[in-house]
């Protein structure tokens, strides 16, 4: 959209201000959206929205310049199962290279899965095409990690936020677009008068708000948040986390919240899945996973998080893992974690443990799963 056309929209918008009652109803202004969200949640509480079954994504490793030969595969995602219900926040944690971000790209259909299925409202996303895929792409939006790289420096904020409407024209009628953009900016805590500014005029936290407004513009049902706050300063991080929580309540959104910061994930998530080397090793509510972790990797991960309270210092069970994460191009046989696990036995090398409940109360992919308190409970 050029400056010219946004100017003309502004002019039209001013002229149309008198007819605001009418345009309010047709544009997706707050009352309309609020009502839809409310009716949605009322009619179908906790309905399963997304189901991921055995999801795999292998990237080929090639050699040669002219005649490329495939010499192996990087198993970035190798068997992920996950479900997300409406209005819920599912946290996905793991260290760098564990495949979290590939899962997010698969979810928003930027990558095609090698194997497995993503079922959205019961339909396989990989088999969607045409109208169905277009609708899916509108309903499942994404917020990226890097607020500097993910916004086009040559587009104004208004153009960035409203760009999705060029494809999904039915979401916002042409007439009320500027007003709707300004409403969105206001909702995410930015001055609505900033529509004609460029991304470089904003700080990191403000840019992340622009990214959130862009995702909201298409009235999504699911937002995949890929490390949305890890690039931000701590004092600004909390502002964005609170904003995400408010928006969830207001619009009935479901989040897949991907992060490496275990504290932030615990804070925002209803359920948490822990990933290691391409697959989920443990899954449960935040109290289950943090309070009684049963997979050795989860225990080691949690025991490494530095605590903030002086009186809890030294009370933690420290588990120091040896060595580095194996290469996803050549993962260990059987259990992926066995090379660094203190519980490993012969069976671990032969048989990959399934992600099931072995009596510890929530699913864990370990043959010898056993609940253990790692993080001291803050009684103060």
Q: According to the binding rule CB under 8 A, does residue 264 interact with another protein?
A: yes
- The residue (of 167 and 287) whose beta carbon lies closer to another protein is 287
Residues between 214 and 243 that touch another protein (CB under 8 A): 233-239, 241-242
Write down the least CB distance from residue 304 to another protein, Å. Answer: 4
Tell me the closest approach of the beta carbon of residue 72 to another protein, in angstroms.
18
**Could you say whether residue 309 binds another protein (CB under 8 A)?**
yes
Considering the complex, what minimum distance in angstroms separates the CB of residue 355 from another protein?
Answer: 21
Comparison of 140 and 143: residue with beta carbon closer to another protein: 143
Beta carbon of residue 323, minimum distance to another protein (angstroms, whole number): 8
Is residue 373 at the binding interface for another protein, with CB under 8 A as the rule? no
Q: Is 191 in the site for another protein (CB under 8 A)?
A: no
Place of tokens 């622009």: 210
Stretch of 51-59, 139-147, 310-318, 345-353 contacting another protein, by CB under 8 A:
310-318
How many Å apart are CA 14 and CA 376, to the nearest integer?
58
| CB atoms closer than 10 angstroms to residue 167 | 11
- Judged by CB under 8 A, does residue 43 bind another protein? no
Instruction: Give me the least distance between CB of 320 and another protein, in Å please.
Output: 6
Which residues 95-124 are close enough to bind another protein by CB under 8 A?
95-96
Q: With 0-12 CB in 10 A as exposed, 13-18 as middle and 19+ as buried, what is 260? A: middle
Question: How many angstroms separate the CA atoms of 286 and 8, rounded?
Answer: 50
Distance of closest approach, residue 375 Cβ to another protein, in angstroms? 6
Q: Is 267 in the site for another protein (CB under 8 A)?
A: yes
Q: Which residue among 1, 155, 312, 349 contacts another protein (CB under 8 A)?
A: 312
64 touching another protein, by CB under 8 A:
no
By CB under 8 A, tell whether 149 contacts another protein: no
Report the alpha-carbon distance of residue 44 to residue 29 in Å, rounded: 23
Residue 329 as a binder of another protein (CB under 8 A): the answer is: no
One-letter-per-residue 3-state SS of the chain: CCHHHHHHHHHHHHHHHHHHHHHHHHCCCHHHHHHHHHHHHHHCCCCEEEEEEEEEEEEEEEECCCCCEEEEEEEEEEEEEEEEECCCEEEEECCCCCCHHHHHHHHCCCCCCCEEEEEECCEEHHHCCHHHHHHHHHHEEEECCCCCCCCCCCCCHHHHHHCHHHHCCCCCCHHHHHHHHHHHHHHCCCCHHHHHCCHHHCCHHHHHHHHHHHHHCCCCCEEEEECCCCCCCHHHHHHHHHHHHHHHHHHCCEEEEEECCHHHHHHHCCEEEEEECCEEEEEEEHHHHHHCCCCHHHHHHHHHCCCCCHHHCCCCCCCCCCCCCCCCCCCCCCCCCHHHCCCCCHHHHHCCCCCECCCCCCCECCCCCCCCCCCCCCCC
Question: Nearest Cα to 258, choosing from 147, 100, 142?
Answer: 100
Q: Per CB under 8 A, does 208 bind another protein?
A: no
Q: Does 321 bind another protein (CB under 8 A)?
A: yes
Q: Which of 311, 333, 356, 359 binds another protein (CB under 8 A)?
A: 311
Q: In this complex, which beta carbon is closest to another protein, that of residue 193 or of residue 309?
A: 309
Interacting residue with another protein among 4, 149, 306, 346 (CB under 8 A): 306
Q: Which is nearer to another protein, 19 or 311 (CB)?
A: 311
> Where does this chain touch another protein (CB under 8 A) — which range of 124-132, 147-155, 192-200, 299-307?
299-307
Cβ of residue 27: shortest distance to another protein, in angstroms?
A: 30
Residue closer to another protein (CB basis): 69 or 200: 200
Closest CA to 91 of 245, 255, 311: 255
* Residue 300 engages another protein in binding (rule: CB under 8 A): yes
Residue 302 interacts with another protein (CB under 8 A): yes or no: yes
Rule CB under 8 A: which residues touch another protein?
95-96, 203, 205-206, 233-239, 241-242, 245, 260, 262-264, 266-268, 286-287, 290, 300-313, 318, 320-321, 323-324, 375-378
């Amino acid at each position: 959209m050029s400056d010219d056309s946004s100017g003309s929209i502004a002019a039209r918008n001013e002229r149309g201000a008198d007819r605001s009652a009418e345009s309010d109803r047709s544009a997706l202004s707050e009352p309309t959206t609020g009502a839809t969200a409310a009716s949605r949640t009322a009619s179908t509480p906790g309905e399963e929205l997304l189901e991921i079954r055995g999801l795999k994504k292998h990237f080929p490793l090639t050699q040669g310049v002219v005649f490329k030969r495939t010499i192996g595969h990087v198993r970035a995602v190798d068997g992920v199962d996950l479900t997300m219900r409406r209005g819920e926040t599912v946290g996905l944690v793991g260290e760098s290279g564990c495949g979290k971000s590939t899962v997010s790209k698969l979810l928003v259909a930027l990558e095609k899965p090698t194997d497995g299925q993503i079922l959205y409202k019961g339909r396989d996303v990989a088999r969607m095409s045409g109208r169905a895929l277009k609708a899916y792409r509108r309903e499942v939006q994404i917020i990226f990690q890097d607020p500097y790289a993910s916004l086009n420096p040559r587009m104004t904020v208004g153009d960035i936020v409203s760009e999705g409407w060029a494809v999904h024209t039915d979401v916002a009628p042409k007439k009320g677009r500027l007003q709707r953009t300004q409403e969105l900016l206001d909702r995410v805590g930015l001055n609505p008068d900033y529509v004609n500014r460029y991304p470089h005029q904003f700080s990191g936290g403000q840019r992340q708000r622009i990214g959130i407004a862009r995702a909201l513009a298409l009235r999504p049902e699911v937002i995949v948040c890929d490390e949305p706050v890890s690039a931000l300063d701590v004092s600004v991080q909390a502002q964005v986390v609170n904003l995400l929580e408010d928006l969830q309540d207001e619009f009935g959104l479901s989040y897949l919240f991907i992060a490496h910061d275990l504290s932030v994930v615990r804070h925002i998530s209803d359920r948490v899945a822990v990933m290691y080397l391409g697959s989920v090793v443990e899954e449960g509510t935040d109290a289950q996973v943090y309070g009684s972790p049963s997979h050795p990797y989860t225990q080691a991960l949690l025991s490494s998080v530095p605590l903030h309270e002086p009186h809890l210092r030294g009370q933690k069970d420290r588990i120091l893992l040896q060595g580095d994460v194996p290469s996803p191009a050549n993962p260990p046989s059987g259990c992926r974690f066995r090379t660094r696990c203190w519980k490993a036995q012969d069976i671990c090398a032969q048989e990959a443990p399934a992600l099931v409940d072995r009596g510890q109360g929530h699913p864990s992919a370990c043959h010898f799963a056993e609940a253990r308190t790692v993080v001291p409970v803050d009684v103060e």
